[in-house]
Amino acid sequence: MKALVMNCSPVRNGATAEIVRLISQEISAVYDVKNVCIDDYDFAFCKGCRSCHKTAECVISDDIDRIMEEFERADVIVCVSPSYWADIPGQFKAFIDRCTPWCNTHSPHRRISSGKRGFAVALRTGPGMHECERIIGSIEHFYGHLEIECCGSLGLCSVEYKENVEPRITEIKNFCMTKILQI
Protein backbone atom coordinates (compact mmCIF):
# COMPACT_ATOMS: atom_id res chain seq x y z
CA MET A 1 0.00 0.00 0.00
CA LYS A 2 1.09 3.56 -0.68
CA ALA A 3 0.90 6.59 1.59
CA LEU A 4 1.22 10.25 0.69
CA VAL A 5 2.31 12.57 3.51
CA MET A 6 1.86 16.19 2.48
CA ASN A 7 3.61 19.16 4.07
CA CYS A 8 0.91 21.82 3.65
CA SER A 9 3.30 24.55 4.79
CA PRO A 10 5.39 26.61 2.38
CA VAL A 11 8.34 26.01 4.74
CA ARG A 12 10.24 22.93 3.57
CA ASN A 13 12.36 22.44 6.70
CA GLY A 14 10.41 23.69 9.70
CA ALA A 15 8.28 22.06 12.39
CA THR A 16 5.66 20.87 9.89
CA ALA A 17 8.35 19.19 7.79
CA GLU A 18 9.74 17.52 10.92
CA ILE A 19 6.30 16.10 11.73
CA VAL A 20 5.98 14.88 8.12
CA ARG A 21 9.37 13.19 8.49
CA LEU A 22 8.41 11.50 11.78
CA ILE A 23 5.07 10.25 10.45
CA SER A 24 6.70 8.97 7.27
CA GLN A 25 9.38 7.18 9.25
CA GLU A 26 6.85 5.64 11.60
CA ILE A 27 4.56 4.25 8.88
CA SER A 28 7.26 3.26 6.37
CA ALA A 29 7.39 -0.35 7.62
CA VAL A 30 3.82 -0.85 6.37
CA TYR A 31 3.46 1.71 3.56
CA ASP A 32 5.49 2.79 0.58
CA VAL A 33 5.66 6.46 1.63
CA LYS A 34 5.99 9.54 -0.57
CA ASN A 35 6.43 13.01 0.95
CA VAL A 36 5.55 16.19 -0.88
CA CYS A 37 5.65 19.84 0.12
CA ILE A 38 3.00 22.21 -1.21
CA ASP A 39 5.78 24.67 -2.04
CA ASP A 40 7.44 22.18 -4.42
CA TYR A 41 4.64 22.86 -6.92
CA ASP A 42 3.79 25.87 -9.03
CA PHE A 43 0.11 26.66 -9.40
CA ALA A 44 -2.12 29.69 -9.77
CA PHE A 45 -5.13 30.80 -7.79
CA CYS A 46 -8.61 29.69 -8.83
CA LYS A 47 -10.20 32.29 -11.11
CA GLY A 48 -13.73 31.44 -9.97
CA CYS A 49 -14.86 31.02 -13.58
CA ARG A 50 -16.74 27.78 -12.84
CA SER A 51 -15.77 26.27 -16.20
CA CYS A 52 -14.89 23.10 -14.31
CA HIS A 53 -18.54 22.83 -13.23
CA LYS A 54 -19.40 22.20 -16.90
CA THR A 55 -16.29 20.43 -18.18
CA ALA A 56 -14.66 18.83 -15.08
CA GLU A 57 -11.44 20.47 -16.29
CA CYS A 58 -9.66 23.59 -15.10
CA VAL A 59 -8.86 26.31 -17.63
CA ILE A 60 -5.46 26.77 -15.94
CA SER A 61 -2.66 24.39 -16.84
CA ASP A 62 -0.08 24.02 -14.06
CA ASP A 63 1.08 21.61 -11.34
CA ILE A 64 -2.33 20.87 -9.80
CA ASP A 65 -2.66 17.74 -11.93
CA ARG A 66 0.79 16.59 -10.71
CA ILE A 67 -0.32 16.86 -7.09
CA MET A 68 -3.59 15.10 -7.82
CA GLU A 69 -1.63 12.28 -9.51
CA GLU A 70 0.08 11.79 -6.14
CA PHE A 71 -3.35 11.66 -4.47
CA GLU A 72 -4.43 9.07 -7.06
CA ARG A 73 -1.40 6.85 -6.42
CA ALA A 74 -1.89 6.86 -2.65
CA ASP A 75 -4.13 4.59 -0.61
CA VAL A 76 -3.60 6.74 2.49
CA ILE A 77 -3.20 10.52 2.52
CA VAL A 78 -1.92 12.47 5.52
CA CYS A 79 -2.11 16.27 5.29
CA VAL A 80 0.02 18.05 7.90
CA SER A 81 -0.79 21.75 8.22
CA PRO A 82 0.39 24.55 10.47
CA SER A 83 -1.80 27.43 11.57
CA TYR A 84 -1.44 30.68 9.67
CA TRP A 85 -3.68 33.21 11.39
CA ALA A 86 -5.91 30.50 12.86
CA ASP A 87 -6.39 28.55 9.63
CA ILE A 88 -4.55 26.64 6.92
CA PRO A 89 -1.76 28.44 5.01
CA GLY A 90 -2.79 30.37 1.90
CA GLN A 91 -0.84 28.03 -0.37
CA PHE A 92 -2.80 25.03 0.91
CA LYS A 93 -6.08 26.93 0.59
CA ALA A 94 -5.19 27.88 -3.00
CA PHE A 95 -4.51 24.20 -3.72
CA ILE A 96 -7.87 23.17 -2.25
CA ASP A 97 -9.65 25.84 -4.30
CA ARG A 98 -7.99 24.51 -7.44
CA CYS A 99 -9.29 21.01 -6.68
CA THR A 100 -12.81 22.12 -7.61
CA PRO A 101 -12.76 19.92 -10.76
CA TRP A 102 -12.62 16.91 -8.37
CA CYS A 103 -15.29 18.29 -6.01
CA ASN A 104 -18.38 16.09 -5.69
CA THR A 105 -20.78 19.04 -5.35
CA HIS A 106 -21.21 19.47 -9.12
CA SER A 107 -21.46 17.18 -12.10
CA PRO A 108 -19.58 16.38 -14.14
CA HIS A 109 -16.52 16.21 -11.92
CA ARG A 110 -13.22 14.39 -12.00
CA ARG A 111 -12.65 11.62 -9.51
CA ILE A 112 -9.80 9.96 -7.78
CA SER A 113 -10.14 6.25 -7.09
CA SER A 114 -12.45 5.31 -4.26
CA GLY A 115 -11.38 3.67 -1.02
CA LYS A 116 -8.76 6.23 -0.01
CA ARG A 117 -8.29 7.00 3.67
CA GLY A 118 -7.29 10.42 4.95
CA PHE A 119 -5.74 11.74 8.13
CA ALA A 120 -5.34 15.33 9.29
CA VAL A 121 -2.55 16.68 11.47
CA ALA A 122 -2.58 20.30 12.63
CA LEU A 123 -0.01 22.27 14.59
CA ARG A 124 0.01 25.73 16.06
CA THR A 125 2.27 27.87 18.18
CA GLY A 126 -0.26 28.75 20.88
CA PRO A 127 -1.58 26.58 23.72
CA GLY A 128 -5.27 26.26 22.76
CA MET A 129 -6.68 23.45 20.62
CA HIS A 130 -9.34 25.63 18.92
CA GLU A 131 -7.10 26.59 15.96
CA CYS A 132 -6.02 22.98 15.45
CA GLU A 133 -9.67 21.93 15.37
CA ARG A 134 -10.38 24.57 12.72
CA ILE A 135 -7.49 23.34 10.56
CA ILE A 136 -8.53 19.71 11.00
CA GLY A 137 -12.06 20.72 10.01
CA SER A 138 -10.78 22.36 6.82
CA ILE A 139 -8.79 19.25 5.87
CA GLU A 140 -11.68 16.91 6.67
CA HIS A 141 -14.05 19.10 4.63
CA PHE A 142 -11.64 18.93 1.69
CA TYR A 143 -11.35 15.14 2.03
CA GLY A 144 -15.12 14.80 2.13
CA HIS A 145 -15.58 16.55 -1.21
CA LEU A 146 -12.95 14.29 -2.78
CA GLU A 147 -14.68 11.29 -1.17
CA ILE A 148 -11.62 10.41 0.89
CA GLU A 149 -12.72 8.73 4.13
CA CYS A 150 -11.56 10.72 7.16
CA CYS A 151 -10.04 8.22 9.60
CA GLY A 152 -8.35 10.28 12.27
CA SER A 153 -6.76 13.53 13.30
CA LEU A 154 -4.11 14.92 15.60
CA GLY A 155 -3.78 18.45 16.95
CA LEU A 156 -0.46 19.62 18.33
CA CYS A 157 -0.34 22.89 20.28
CA SER A 158 2.71 24.89 21.37
CA VAL A 159 4.76 23.83 18.34
CA GLU A 160 6.54 26.67 16.56
CA TYR A 161 10.00 25.37 15.75
CA LYS A 162 11.54 21.99 14.94
CA GLU A 163 12.88 21.68 18.48
CA ASN A 164 9.29 21.95 19.80
CA VAL A 165 8.45 18.70 18.00
CA GLU A 166 10.85 16.52 20.01
CA PRO A 167 8.76 16.51 23.22
CA ARG A 168 5.76 15.42 21.08
CA ILE A 169 7.41 12.41 19.39
CA THR A 170 5.61 9.86 21.57
CA GLU A 171 2.26 11.51 20.83
CA ILE A 172 2.97 11.47 17.08
CA LYS A 173 4.10 7.84 17.18
CA ASN A 174 0.98 6.85 19.13
CA PHE A 175 -1.18 8.58 16.51
CA CYS A 176 0.57 6.60 13.79
CA MET A 177 0.21 3.33 15.68
CA THR A 178 -3.42 3.74 16.77
CA LYS A 179 -4.78 5.47 13.64
CA ILE A 180 -2.72 5.32 10.45
CA LEU A 181 -1.34 1.82 10.95
CA GLN A 182 -4.69 0.40 12.08
CA ILE A 183 -6.47 0.56 8.74
Digit-coded pLDDT (tens) for 9-32? 999 999 999 999 999 999 999 999
Describe the chain by its helix, strand, coil percentages, rounded to 5: 45, 20, 40
**Closest among 137, 151, 2, 147 to 81, alpha carbons compared:** 137
The confidence score (pLDDT) of residue 183 equals 82
| 125 burial level (CB within 10 Å; 0-12, 13-18, 19+) | middle
Residues in the chain with pLDDT values less than 50: none
In angstroms, the CA 100 to CA 146 distance is 9
Report pLDDT digits (tens) over 98-113. 999 999 999 999 999 9
Residues 6+ apart with CB under 8 A from 170: none
Sheet harboring 32-37: ordered strands across? Answer: 32-37, 2-7, 76-82, 117-123, 149-156
What pTM did the predictor assign? 0.97
The predicted pLDDT at position 56 comes to: 97
The three-class DSSP label of residue 165 is: coil
Mark out the alpha helices in 74-168 (DSSP H runs).
90-98, 130-146
CA distances from 64 to 31, 34, 77, 101, 144 (A): 24, 17, 16, 11, 19
Q: Is cis: bond before 108, omega within 30 of 0?
A: yes
